[in-house]
Structure 1
Amino acid sequence: MDTMRDRFAPVVSRLLDEDPRVAVVLAEIGKDAFEAAMRKHPDRVINVGIREQLLVGAGAGLALAGLRPVVHTFASFLVERPFEQIKLDFGHQGLGGVLVSAAASFDWPAGGFTHMAPGDVALLDTLDGWTVHVPGHPDEAETLLRHAVAAGDDKVYVRLSVQANARALPVDGERFLTVREGRGGVVVAVGPLLDQVLAATEGLDVSVLYATTVRPFDERALRRAAGAADSADVVVVEPYLAGTSTAAVNDALADLPHRVLGLGVGRRELRRYGQVEEHLTAHGLDAGSLRGRISGFLNAGTSVRTS
């Protein structure tokens, strides 16, 4: 299976042909995949070199000129390093654009901590009005990329990863999908962690919701699942910083008795970089670890309620 990032350049190159508003801004990373598009659309495919603050600023400048910029590099260089430009050049000026990241939380361990960005979504949560897509399969990435570019002048972040589920689901850029129904609690699986969550919850009486668009947070789907269960306890399993969406869950269920557990990437830096699978295990995001953490949390809630 190809990767989400393998789909990125072909999809956006087609969008360049289809829509004269679309423009692409790169910072060296990924430029080879756009060579043909750059020759065809030299005024709308721009490589600024290794200048990430300029990358975002140039994207905002294109938005000021009426274009729909697609801005791409690794997540750590796209969200963390030029955060001030995202905050001011896009946010303060009321401009829209599409930020598309690669490398996710730890997709390239050999690159070291400079190339890891588990805090990207939490950082964007400090700003207003960003839609955040976290696809879990290359087909979903293609769908969500098209949604993002077509989203008028909205601010959209698309988080691509080499991690992926075995099969794609019909995502629509808005709603959570109900993958499994149960009465003992709700587990929200985000993007490429769905397969791990399904394996972890096999045989457990829980509902599993699949989230590929996490901002705005689908409060209606969560309330529906929590209302249908005997317990409004919720576990959110995210491929980025643990606890990123716990506030969103609390807001959605503010009028209901509930507990929430946020599982994701821990704050502790792993200095022996290893492989992606080793990072999953170290952060407790493999199926075996998740089963123990999820069942322990939900069973503890049952004990409290029945005591």
Structure 2
Amino acid sequence: MRNAFARVLTELAKTDERLVLFYADIGNRLFNPLKEFAPERTINAGIAEANMASMAAGSAMMGHKPFIYTITPFTTARNFEQIKIDIAYQNQPVIIVGTGSGLSYANLGPSHHSFEDIALMRALPNMKIVCPADAQELEILMPQLIELNAPCYFRIGKKNEPSVHEGTPNLKFGKAHTMQHGETLAILATGTILPLAQALHAQLAAKGINAELVSFHTVKPLDADYLKSATERFEHIITLEEHNVSGGFGSAVLEHVSEHNASVRVHRFGIPDFFIDQVHSPEDARVKAGLTVEDITGKLASRGLL
């Protein structure tokens, strides 16, 4: 997905001179094509993420459309104060790109895991949050984020994420994309966890459960129209995310349901409330976190859904 980000940004920057990239001494070769024709708009800010956020805010105030890019925990948690005051409070159109989100860097331990980033960004006024599931979703949504002219957190994967769409999906910022219509319950997934949601959907279908499968690429603002429809049609909603269950996408859905007096039950699946270490791969980490089809169906069965 990071390769797709670099490619799309390079193509967009050829026709839009407002686009500027600040990166924190990562992906140097990745951005070589951009440097070749726009070296003055491809700025290595060094391992100084807080300065990078403030530099981008100043650039935005001068009429640019800046991106800041580095590994997810370093582009959100490490420079949270600068994002809050310089970007969100000033309502500057900076796109904060977090690469390697969730468990992408599982083997590097908690310093490189990002289970709290959606919660942090959700708490900021003016901030939008978009989590594409694959490179195709990234390519479709990225130009739309630029046109928002607003602060945005773009939570992307690392590399080799599988494609989740058979054709070209009609994706719109702020609108959930229904991949499979269903009648029994809804599975709402955001970001790179979507292949697991597809596997869960297939497992439920094998059990005779006609579930609806939805890519909820935009976490903030949530698609209120879809959620209104879902709460009217289903008694159960399952949310999936590679993020802590506290404060993330599932929490946002649960809050929305509660605030609108819906009787639907929300079943949240994500990272439990503990740190994950001593793992060698994202798959190994998901097993430890209970993010497998077997674990999820087991919990659903214990709740009387299966």
1:60 match: secondary structure: helix
**In the alignment, what sits opposite 2:156?**
160
Is the 8 Å Cα contact of residues 184 and 298 (structure 1) preserved in structure 2? Answer: no
Instruction: Find 1:38's aligned residue among 25, 32, 35.
Output: 35
Q: Quick one: distance in 2 between partners of 1:241 and 1:129?
A: 22
1:304 maps to none
Q: State the partner residue of 2:213.
A: 208
Conserved? CA contact 1:186–1:207, under 8 Å: yes
- The 5-angstrom pairing of residues 122-161 of structure 1 reads 122-151=119-148, 153-161=149-157
Aligned to 2:281: 275
| Distance in 1 separating the partners of 2:104 and 2:185 | 31
Query: Which of 8, 13, 17 lines up with 1:16 in the alignment?
Result: 13
How does 1:105-120 map onto structure 2 within 5 Å? 105-120=102-117
Counterpart of 1:77 (choices 50, 74, 77) is 74
**Which residue matches 1:257?**
263
1:266 corresponds to 2:272: yes
Deviations 1:83-118 (A, max 9, x none): 000000112222121111111012122322211111
Q: Specify the alignment match of 1:219 in structure 2.
A: 224
In 2: Cα distance, 1:297 partner to 1:219 partner: 27
1:2-49 alpha-carbon deviations (Å, 9 max, x no partner): xx1111111111121110111110110112222232242232111111
How far off is 1:165 after superposition? 4.0
Distance 1:47 1:185, change over 3 A: same
Whichever residue aligns with residue 73 of structure 1, its letter is T
How many residue pairs were aligned?
294
Task: Return 5+ residue gaps in structure 1 as ranges.
Answer: 301-307
Offset at residue 178 of structure 1 (A) = 2.1
Q: What's 2:245 paired with?
A: 242
What value does the CA root-mean-square deviation take over the aligned residues? Answer: 1.9
Unpaired runs of 5+ residues, structure 2, are none
Q: CA deviation at 1:193?
A: 2.0
- CA distances 1:155-174 after superposition (whole Å, capped 9, x unpaired): 11111113734433612222
Q: CA shift at 1:194, angstroms?
A: 2.3
Q: Does the 8 Å CA contact 1:48/1:54 hold for their aligned counterparts?
A: yes
Question: What is the CA–CA distance in structure 1 between the aligned matches of 2:45 and 2:78, rounded to whole Å?
Answer: 15
TM-score between the two structures when normalised by the length of structure 2:
0.89
- Normalised to the residue count of structure 1, the TM-score between the two structures is 0.89
